[in-house]
């Protein structure tokens, strides 16, 4: 690991003033230190934000809930209000990684963690996403890679909380010396294209993610998240799904289905969700939505199994959200 300056900040203003040149923000440090230890990045300065009190806390507001960027995954998973009214988020945070990681990892860092691809996370591969000119995944080991939006960089969106927050239509608050702006989570992530292969989010280099705002759920809202992986813990998802249903009696009035580990960004399955609207949630409607979510998939040479796995993850999560199935014992986390 390279030598670096450690700039410990106790206010947002102090952190913003330190975010110059090659400085990198450090929250829980799980992702950033991993990449430093692997020699993927060698920042001259780390701006430590973990001692900024104003970035902590889960607050219920008139319009919903405000989560500070430093709230840990463990705090999200254990919070009674989130468990009862924003279940998809408590489920996603509470089943991510391991208990030790959930105690250190922050919401802001989880949303900002870099994409998942073992070539990207190794210093030995100078790939397109790191500003070079080729992708190693197409002809390489691509069993964990994307099955949608695979044309430029088929890495996958790794953040469990991004899946949940996208399903809840939450927004992130971004703060710079010029002020604050709100960006819907659904517009926060950038799909890699030929012009911008290295950009992952719309955050500017002088901005800090300071909070997440989730709107109050409409009456009758129920939600759930499930993650499927190779291991039951200590791993990212191979396929995960977040589902939010607005129910009126037995009938679904509105639905959102979001997939993680399917594309380089969290994937909103709009057509699949539309199939649920106006109908009761049954095994049949849930299975139909799961299959519809795979329309347009372009799997790579080694990940065709995901096209079979996702429909199962989706239909079981829809039934869990509707209260028609228990949590799947074969789900991870």
Ligand X SMILES: Cc1cc2nc3c(=O)[nH]c(=O)nc-3n(C[C@H](O)[C@H](O)[C@H](O)COP(=O)(O)OP(=O)(O)OC[C@H]3O[C@@H](n4cnc5c(N)ncnc54)[C@H](O)[C@@H]3O)c2cc1C
135 binds, among ligand SF4, ligand X, none (CB under 5 to 8 A by kind): ligand SF4
Out of 18, 110, 166, 265, name the contact with ligand X by CB under 6 A: 110
Out of 24, 277, 307, 312, name the contact with ligand X by CB under 6 A: 24
The CA distances from residue 195 to 128, 152, 198, 199, 205, in Å, are 11, 10, 9, 9, 18
Compare residues 141 and 251 and give the one whose CB is closer to ligand SF4. 141
3-state SS class at 137: coil
Relative to beta strand 239-248, strand 208-215 is unpaired
**Counting contacts by CB under 6 A, is residue 117 touching ligand X?**
no
Compare residues 160 and 285 and give the one whose CB is closer to ligand X. 160
154 binds, among ligand X, ligand SF4, none (CB under 5 to 8 A by kind): ligand SF4
Closest residue to ligand X using C-beta atoms: 109
Out of 30, 135, 164, 213, name the contact with ligand X by CB under 6 A: 30
Out of 158, 197, 264, 290, name the contact with ligand X by CB under 6 A: 158
Angle at the Cα of 170 (from 169 to 172), degrees rounded to 5?
140
Task: Show contacts of 57-63: CB within 8 Å, 24+ apart.
Answer: 58/82, 63/213, 63/215, 63/216
Compare residues 55 and 281 and give the one whose CB is closer to ligand X. 55
Least Å from the CB of residue 118 to ligand X = 13
Choose among 300, 112, 277: nearest CA to 208: 112
**Counting contacts by CB under 6 A, is residue 106 touching ligand X?**
yes
116 binds, among ligand SF4, ligand X, none (CB under 5 to 8 A by kind): none
What's the token pair of residue 110?
């989880």
Out of 64, 94, 108, 242, name the contact with ligand X by CB under 6 A: 108
**Counting contacts by CB under 6 A, is residue 116 touching ligand X?**
no
Please give the DSSP secondary-structure letter assigned to residue 54: G
> 98: part of which helix (H) or strand (E)?
none
Choose among 68, 35, 23, 67: nearest CA to 50: 68
Out of 67, 112, 165, 256, name the contact with ligand X by CB under 6 A: 112
Burial of 328 (0-12, 13-18, 19+ CB in 10 A): middle
Least Å from the CB of residue 287 to ligand X = 25
69 binds, among ligand SF4, ligand X, none (CB under 5 to 8 A by kind): ligand X
Choose among 287, 222, 230, 283: nearest CA to 253: 222
Task: Determine the Cα–Cα distance for residues 255 and 247; give it in Å rounded to an integer.
Answer: 9
Q: In the stretch 167-196, what mask flags binding to ligand X with x, by CB under 6 A?
A: ------------------------------
Task: Determine the Cα–Cα distance for residues 47 and 52; give it in Å rounded to an integer.
Answer: 11
Compare residues 83 and 282 and give the one whose CB is closer to ligand X. 83
129 binds, among ligand SF4, ligand X, none (CB under 5 to 8 A by kind): ligand SF4
**Counting contacts by CB under 6 A, is residue 208 touching ligand X?**
yes
Binding residues among 227-286 for ligand SF4 as defined by CB under 6 A: none
Compare residues 72 and 221 and give the one whose CB is closer to ligand X. 72
Choose among 220, 217, 224: nearest CA to 286: 224
Task: Determine the Cα–Cα distance for residues 143 and 72; give it in Å rounded to an integer.
Answer: 30
Binding residues among 107-166 for ligand SF4 as defined by CB under 6 A: 117, 119-120, 127-129, 135-137, 153-155
């Amino acid at each position: 690991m390279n030598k670096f300056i450690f700039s410990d900040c106790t206010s947002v203003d102090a952190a913003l003033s330190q975010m110059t040149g090659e400085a990198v923000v450090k929250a829980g440090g799980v992702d950033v230190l991993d990449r430093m230890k692997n020699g993927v990045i060698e920042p001259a300065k780390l701006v430590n934000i973990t001692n900024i009190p104003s970035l902590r806390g889960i607050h219920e507001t008139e319009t919903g809930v405000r989560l500070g960027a430093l709230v840990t995954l463990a705090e999200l998973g254990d919070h009674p209000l989130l468990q009862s009214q924003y279940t998809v988020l408590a489920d996603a945070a509470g089943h991510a990684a391991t208990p030790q990681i959930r105690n250190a990892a922050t919401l802001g860092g989880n949303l900002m963690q870099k994409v998942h691809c073992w070539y990207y996370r190794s210093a030995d591969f100078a790939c397109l996403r790191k500003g070079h000119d080729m992708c190693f995944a197409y002809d390489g080991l691509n069993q964990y890679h994307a099955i949608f939006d695979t044309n430029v960089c088929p890495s996958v969106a790794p953040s469990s909380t991004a899946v949940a927050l996208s399903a809840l239509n939450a927004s992130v608050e971004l703060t710079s010396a010029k002020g604050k702006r709100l960006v819907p989570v659904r517009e926060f992530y950038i799909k890699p294209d030929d012009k911008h292969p290295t950009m992952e989010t719309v955050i500017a280099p002088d901005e800090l993610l300071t909070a997440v705002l989730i709107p109050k759920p409409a009456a009758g809202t129920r939600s759930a998240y499930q993650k499927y992986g190779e291991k039951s813990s200590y791993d990212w998802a191979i396929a995960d799904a977040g589902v939010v249903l607005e129910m009126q009696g037995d009938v679904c009035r509105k639905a959102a289905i979001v997939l993680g580990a399917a594309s380089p960004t969290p994937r909103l399955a709009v057509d699949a969700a539309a199939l649920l609207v106006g109908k009761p949630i049954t095994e049949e409607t849930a299975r139909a939505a799961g299959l519809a979510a795979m329309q347009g998939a372009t799997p790579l040479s080694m990940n065709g199994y995901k096209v079979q796995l996702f429909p199962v993850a989706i239909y079981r999560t829809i039934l869990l959200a509707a209260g028609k199935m228990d949590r799947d014992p074969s789900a991870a986390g």
